[in-house]
Amino acid sequence: MQRKINPLLLLLSLVGGGLGFAIGEFLLRQWGTGLPVIVVTGIYFGILALCIGLACLIAELISPRLSGSSWRQRYTGTSWKLLIPSTLVALFLLGMLFEWAYQLNPGSAKPVKDIVLVIDNSGSMNETDPNQDRYTAAKNLINRMDRDNRVSVMVFDHATTLLQPFTRVNNQETKDEIIAEIDGLATNDGGTDISLALEDTMSHIQESRDAGRSAMVIMLSDGFSETDHDRVLAEYKQQQIAVNTIGLSLVNPDGARLLQTIAAETGGQYYDVQHAEDLSFVFQKIYDDVGDRSLLTKRTGAMEDSVYHQIGRIAAMLLIGAAMGLALGTVFDNRHLALSFSIGGAVSGVLAGVVLEYGLSGEEIGDASVRLIACLLLAGIIALFTLVIPVKESSKIIRNVQRQGRTGRGQRPNDSTSRGF
């Protein structure tokens, strides 16, 4: 048993980690919104494990410092056969499993699936949004919603109108029907009553409540109205329903403060928008940030500061790292390497999990850089850990070599005798 390192394996493992990251990022961009998140996460880790495993296998074929020359002479065929099942397939399945566990909601928390659009339709909107961009933004958002979402649309001035009750947007025909209702709207000459709009919205949410689901509100206005915060927002806070508010071209500072207060007290976000054509981007950002979480991206929404999910991400990465190390040891068919790589993988997984948990910010380029660091930690520390946990050639390989040597020595006299006879 020796503590040793293969510098070529370390170098190529890092190259494999970088290659796996590049392929994973490409697939994340291509399929991130088209496939279920558990599938995308599984593919990402499966590809990463395959690239690291392939790189390490090539390194040992060139310079077999860990597995030994006997492995290279007799068992490389087995290693090639084990490569894809042990890395790509195994980590794809485990990645999906750990992502599924990470998606679970602790306690009584419910996923946000119901969205209410509460849109100001008062007379002042003729000036702040003459081209009806707020309704274009609403229609664009509805078109992008997932099949499992329910949406409701309410418009308000001095009164509130329920334009569309909660409806599951599980096909394009349903979306088109809701959009047609929005297209029929015309701006009224009335005033603005935000308090009444919030009360009527809550009433509709309670009437249409669906067990196992939670709701979120997107409210847009350009005005101000007197509001009893404690009374109007009490039910929102009790039900943990976030109200995300958008102030459009607000001139009155009281209006901005009101919308900020509504968002802050209900756990939502406030967005100040000066140009109506920017509303589509803001609507989409609010939707994208609702309860979004995966092992590879920043956690947002009600679970953003969840200790359960903080520990969960790090624990999942620990297990993924250990599984990668075990897969690599399996490829070389060496239990000593499997032990060293597994422990190294667990350590690197913890570090990668910490980097992801506290490094991801929601910025596209910054998050990609954080994921690259996590991938390189997994690849590098696994390869380095043979300096910590001693290894030796596979006992099976040594026994086979010794057996072949004894057989060879025993056969030579018999052959000689036969020839002499």
Rounded Cα distance, 176 and 182, in Å = 10
* 228: number of Cβ within 10 Å: 9
Domains and CATH numbers, the chain: 7-105+304-407 (no CATH), 112-288 (3.40.50.410)
pLDDT digits (tens), the chain, 421 positions = 788 889 999 999 999 999 999 999 998 888 765 677 899 999 999 999 999 999 999 999 999 888 888 888 888 888 999 999 999 999 999 999 999 999 887 765 667 889 999 999 988 888 889 999 999 999 999 998 888 889 999 999 999 999 999 999 989 999 999 999 999 888 778 888 999 999 999 999 999 887 667 889 999 998 888 888 889 999 998 888 889 999 988 777 888 899 999 998 988 889 999 999 999 999 988 887 776 678 998 887 667 778 888 999 999 999 999 999 999 999 998 888 999 999 999 999 999 999 999 999 878 889 999 999 999 999 999 999 999 888 776 555 445 544 545 545 444 444 333 323 2
- The answer to whether 127 and 195 have CB atoms below 8 angstroms apart is no
Helix and strand numbers (H, E) in the chain are 16, 6
pLDDT of residue 419: 28
Cβ atoms of 390 and 1 within 8 Å: the answer is yes
Write down the residue that tokens 């991938």 correspond to.
375
pLDDT at position 109 is 61
pLDDT of residue 49: 97
pTM of the model: 0.68
pLDDT of residue 393: 61
Q: Say how many CA atoms lie within 13 Å of 108 toward its Cβ.
A: 4
Q: Which residues contact 269 (CB under 8 A, 6 or more apart)?
A: 244, 245, 263, 286, 289
